[in-house]
Amino acid sequence: MPHASPLVTVMINAARKAARGLSRDFGELDALQTKRKGAADFVSAADHRAEQILFEELSKGRPKYGFLMEERGEIAGADSSNRWVVDPLDGTTNFLHGLAQFAISICLERDLQPHAGVVYNPAADELFWAEKGEGAFLNDKRLRVSDRKALDECLFATGLPFKGRPGRDRALKEVDRVLAETAGVRRYGSAALDLAYVAAGRFEAYWERDLNSWDVGAGIVLVREAGGVVSEIEGGAQPMHAGSILAASAEIFDKARALIAG
């Protein structure tokens, strides 16, 4: 594996340790206790176990850093410049349906900007990692975004609002515009992996609205370090915090934004 910094090593080790429980639970879905979190959205015992492990391991590695976690919320740290932004199980609905499209996502946010990221899918043993200025990697392979230039050769990814979520009409209109001009649209159900796949050149672009920081922080670092461009859909510079995101190769970013905006 290419040399990872001590910071990224802490993140990788935490992700791998938390993944052991997720892998075990994924093999025993019938016995997994779940409860409703909201309309068509679930939280499982696996989420909480994984988050606890991540909290303990990241705290051990960097005791002064704060946290923003999907289940626990915000935890202040002595170091006000650095905090971990963590989703212990991105793609929970996939996980609970036996679909191997889920991931642990860890972002180190430095001065409110994503600085380092790890996205790990234990079902596929694919570990995506990146740090600002150091490149992006999948396991031991350097990543680069796709170099396709023609939209009709490009594959896009997105998320669609499910029951209880707003914005379905707008999302379907955006999908319709993209389908008319591209090689297709995929809806896989994990924002962290969608962004990692843009970094790996599997998708040329990904867009979505109404997201949280822990959904996208790590993936933003991956895409940028792989040579891609990330912004809010309308062009703003805070995709980690604004709730909307467009990530694409530099070759098609402007065309993708114009297409989605209509």
pLDDT at 40: 44
Cα 228 from Cα 232, distance rounded (Å): 14
Q: What's the pLDDT band for 188 if we cut at 50, 70, 90?
A: very high
Residue 9 has pLDDT above 70, yes or no: yes
- Considering just the CA atoms, what is the radius of gyration of the chain in Å? 17
Q: How far from chain centre, in Å, is Cα 198?
A: 11
Average pLDDT of the segment spanning 96-119:
96
Cα 245 from Cα 232, distance rounded (Å): 4
**In the sheet that 184-186 helps form, which strands lie side by side, from edge to edge?**
184-186, 155-158, 205-209, 244-249, 228-231
CATH 3.40.190.80 occupies which residues in the chain? 151-261
Give the fold, CATH level 3, of 6-142. Answer: Fructose-1,6-Bisphosphatase; Chain A, domain 1 (3.30.540)
Among the ranges given (24-38, 143-157, 219-233), the one the predictor scored with the smallest mean pLDDT? 24-38
Q: What's the pLDDT band for 129 if we cut at 50, 70, 90?
A: very high
Q: Strands of 62-213 (E only): list them.
A: 65-69, 73-75, 79-90, 103-110, 113-121, 126-131, 135-138, 141-142, 155-158, 184-186, 205-209
Higher pLDDT: 225 or 164? It is 225
Q: What's the pLDDT band for 164 if we cut at 50, 70, 90?
A: confident
> Sign (positive/negative) of CA torsion 19, 79, 133, 236?
positive
pLDDT in tens, 35-72: 665 544 556 788 899 999 999 999 999 999 999 998 88
CATH architecture for segment(s) 151-261: 3-Layer(aba) Sandwich (3.40)
Both tokens of 243, joined, read: 């709730």
pLDDT at 39: 41
Q: What's the pLDDT band for 246 if we cut at 50, 70, 90?
A: very high
Residue 30 has pLDDT above 80, yes or no: no
Interacting residues of 167 by C-beta distance below 8 A, sequence separation 6+ = 161, 209, 210
CATH 3.30.540.10 occupies which residues in the chain? 6-142
**Among the ranges 24-28, 90-94, 202-206, which has the highest mean pLDDT value?**
202-206
Q: Helices (DSSP H) in 27-161: which residue ranges?
A: 45-61, 92-96
Name the average pLDDT for the chain.
93
Residue 34 has pLDDT above 70, yes or no: no
Residue 156 has pLDDT above 70, yes or no: yes
Cα 25 from Cα 33, distance rounded (Å): 10
- How many angstroms separate the Cα of 190 from the Cα of each of 6, 125, 147, 158, 165? 27, 16, 23, 9, 16
- For the question of whether the overall pTM of this predicted structure is more than 0.85, the answer is yes
Pairing of strands 141-142, 228-231: unpaired
User: What is the percent of the chain with per-residue pLDDT over 90, rounded to a whole number?
Assistant: 82
